[in-house]
Structure 1
Amino acid sequence: MDLTSAHTVLRSQDGVLSRAQALDSGLDDNDLERLLRRRELARIHPGIYVDHTGPATWSQRAWAAVLFHWPAALAGPSALRAHGLRSTAGEGAFASWPDRGVQPGRAAAVEPVHVVVDASRRVTPPAGVVVSRRADFESRVQLHLSPPRLRLDEALLDVAAACSDEAAAVAVLADACQQGATTAARLHASLAARGRLPRRRVLLAILDDVAAGTMSAFEGRYLREVERPHGLPTAHRQVRVVTRGGVTYRDVDYRDFGLVELDGRFVHTGPGREWADLERDVDAMARGEVTLRLGWSHVLEPCRAGLVVGRLLRSRGWDGQLRSCGRDCGAAQWLRRAA
């Protein structure tokens, strides 16, 4: 018997077939062995086959990993890739990977495939596959999608929690919002419903601010972790200014030394907002003022941000001393050179 009876399944799974599906299609183990000998099938994992002997694509490896652990779904960065997300930051946790082929039966030469199974199961993944376990498995995954995958917001939070630092975690979530795949409000609701998770508190505060359209967490973090620890002068905040475009407010006003605008947006808001920002900065320069714009990615690296702001203020005549916030302060090296 040939693969005709399994054609529908193969077509829906990018040419990948499990032994159980083959048997349901009318094939038996002797048929499978014969198809392997005739090179009409190749084995990716035990009991998992692909309908060619060339390099397996990422999609085929993803299907193979899911079927090997069935019931299972793609998780983490593999789920994000399946959802079609790409990195807009260049170094994000979910880049737009090339679909390099991997020879069936060999370990993955590129990033592993991540899958999730129910928390009650104990499995031993093959080479090239990373398995995680989750409670409420069925409610967190979308088994009807092709291939099955973790729900988008759940996968985003998992990837953000696994990032090396808070700035990278925020970039992951911001990338997804920028692409219109989700919203800060949706992510906040999903995170609020989750239990313990690395960086849960800071991400909740950030998403709460963004979803509510406020700036409290962002402004507070700048004050506590950038301005005060690095010896910057105490700024005037929310200073009302009348310009030709109307009334505006300066976020952080160091008076004679410069202005810091705290841009807590999670996504770009279009050319209208960008032009308004540019025109406001030009108006400030025309008045002899210098404006420095800081976003979440900057404030989440407080030592580096403190150094940048300090250098601006010193260039404008501030005679104070920028200081190190501790032994591991990122501004310390520059301070030593400038001494």
Structure 2
Amino acid sequence: MDLASARDVLHAQDGVISRTQALECGLDDSDLERLLRRRELARIHPGVYVDHAGQPTRTQRAWAGVLFHWPAALAGDSALRAHGLRSAAVEVVAASWLDREMTRGRVALEPVQVVVDASRRVAPPAGVVVTRRHDFERRVQLHLSPPRLRLDEALLDVASACADEATAVAVLADACQQRVTTAARLHDALSARGRLPRRRLLLPILDDVAAGTMSVFERRYLHDVERSHGLPAARRQVKVVTRRGVTYRDVEYSDFAVVVELDGRFVHTGPRREWADLERDVDAVARGESTLRLRWPHVLEPCRASVLVGRLLRSRGWDGEPSSCGRDCLAGPGQRRPA
């Protein structure tokens, strides 16, 4: 018997099929061995085959990992890719793993991450990393192709495993920016998880994302400049209609007609973007508002930046004063101001 009886399964699974599925389609072990000899099938893992003899694609490797451990679902970075999430932060996480493997002298492909029920004990083949999860069936979507963890669950897993806070923030913020989830959904999913590495870090990060801080740079400003130095609470991602269309302001101190634009670019993006920024700033002045544009060097010196923002706010009617965040802080009453 040939592969005709298994065409529907192969089509639905990107050309990958398990031995169990092949038998259900009417093939037997002799048929499978003959197809392997004729190179109509190739073995990816024991009992899992692909319908060509070349290098399996990333999606085919993902299917193979799931079928080898069935019932199983994609997890971590693998689940995020299956959900179609495009995230520079996720690429950084994957690249760091590949760098470690190549440093050890290994030629490595990014591993397929798979999750199974907590009650199971499995021995994954090379190229597959398995985690176990309680309440498995509720947390996965077995009807999708390929099956995968729910998006919010996978995001929390990846963020909790990041090497640093900035990357964890970026993973969650990228997903919210792409409108594939919300901070409220992520918060609910995290609250339902009994234990998770770095849970105490992720909860306040989600609060920040809900407050509108949609990038690592914006979160730095919120925490290190605004909150740490007692500046007024600003509005964030404020929609403004101009003669050139709709735009969004990063930070707006509405009571004092002060706008802070956070420009997190490391390089300039050409005269077109520079002119657009200038026109926005001039429009703000024409409306009686003051605009302060901060870049990374400014926010990386948060005490000094808070002094400048506070000075502008005071000139617009704020009766407060930046407070000191510590012994060497430049802000606060009586502190030495930078020249």
TM-score of the alignment, normalized to the shorter chain, above 0.5:
yes
Cross-structure match for 1:241: none
Further displaced range: 282-291 or 180-189? 282-291
Cross-structure match for 1:330: none
Q: Quick one: which amino acid aligns to residue 181 of structure 2? A: T
Q: Could you list the per-position Cα deviations for residues 59-103 of structure 1 after superposition, in whole angstroms to 9, with x for gaps in the alignment?
A: 11111000001110000111111111102xxx31158x9xxxxxx
Give the gaps of 5 or more residues in structure 1: 98-106, 239-244, 264-274, 317-322, 327-337
Cross-structure match for 1:63: 63
* CA RMSD of superposed structures (Å): 4.7
Matched length: 280
Q: Could you list the per-position Cα deviations for residues 99-149 of structure 1 after superposition, in whole angstroms to 9, with x for gaps in the alignment?
A: xxxxxxxx9843111110011111111111111110000110011111100
Structure 1 residue 92 and structure 2 residue 93: aligned?
A: no
Residues 59 and 235 (structure 1 numbering): CA distance in 2 closer, same or farther, change over 3 Å? Answer: closer
Give the gaps of 5 or more residues in structure 2: 95-105, 235-241, 243-250, 264-275, 313-323, 328-337
Separation in 1 of the partners of 2:192 and 2:135? 12
1:28-177 to 2 correspondences below 5 Å:
28-87=28-87, 91-94=88-91, 109-177=108-176
Q: Quick one: which amino acid aligns to residue 31 of structure 2? A: D
Q: Quick one: which amino acid aligns to residue 300 of structure 2? A: R
Equivalent residues of 2:139, 2:150 under 8 A apart:
yes
**Structure 1 position 165, deviation (Å):** 1.6
1:228-307 to 2 correspondences below 5 Å:
250=253, 279=280, 283=284, 291-293=292-294, 304-306=300-302
> What SS does the aligned partner of 1:291 have?
strand
State percent identity of aligned pairs: 63
Q: Quick one: which amino acid aligns to residue 199 of structure 1? A: R
Separation in 1 of the partners of 2:304 and 2:132? 43
**Structure 1 position 200, deviation (Å):** 2.1
**Structure 1 position 310, deviation (Å):** 7.4
Separation in 1 of the partners of 2:68 and 2:191? 33
Further displaced range: 65-74 or 185-194? 185-194
**Structure 1 position 205, deviation (Å):** 2.5
Separation in 2 of the partners of 1:38 and 1:47? 17
**Structure 1 position 195, deviation (Å):** 1.9
**Structure 1 position 283, deviation (Å):** 3.8
Separation in 1 of the partners of 2:227 and 2:207? 24
Cross-structure match for 1:195: 194
Equivalent residues of 1:113, 1:130 under 8 A apart:
yes
Q: Could you list the per-position Cα deviations for residues 260-287 of structure 1 after superposition, in whole angstroms to 9, with x for gaps in the alignment?
A: 5789xxxxxxxxxxx9997467646998
> What SS does the aligned partner of 1:62 have?
helix
**Structure 1 position 3, deviation (Å):** 1.1
Equivalent residues of 1:71, 1:117 under 8 A apart:
yes
Separation in 1 of the partners of 2:85 and 2:220? 29
> What SS does the aligned partner of 1:39 have?
coil
Separation in 2 of the partners of 1:302 and 1:120? 51
> What SS does the aligned partner of 2:11 have?
helix
Q: Could you list the per-position Cα deviations for residues 252-310 of structure 1 after superposition, in whole angstroms to 9, with x for gaps in the alignment?
A: 99xxxx985789xxxxxxxxxxx99974676469989661458xxx7xx9982527727
Structure 1 residue 185 and structure 2 residue 188: aligned?
A: no
TM-score normalised by the chain length of structure 1: 0.66
Equivalent residues of 1:94, 1:172 under 8 A apart:
no
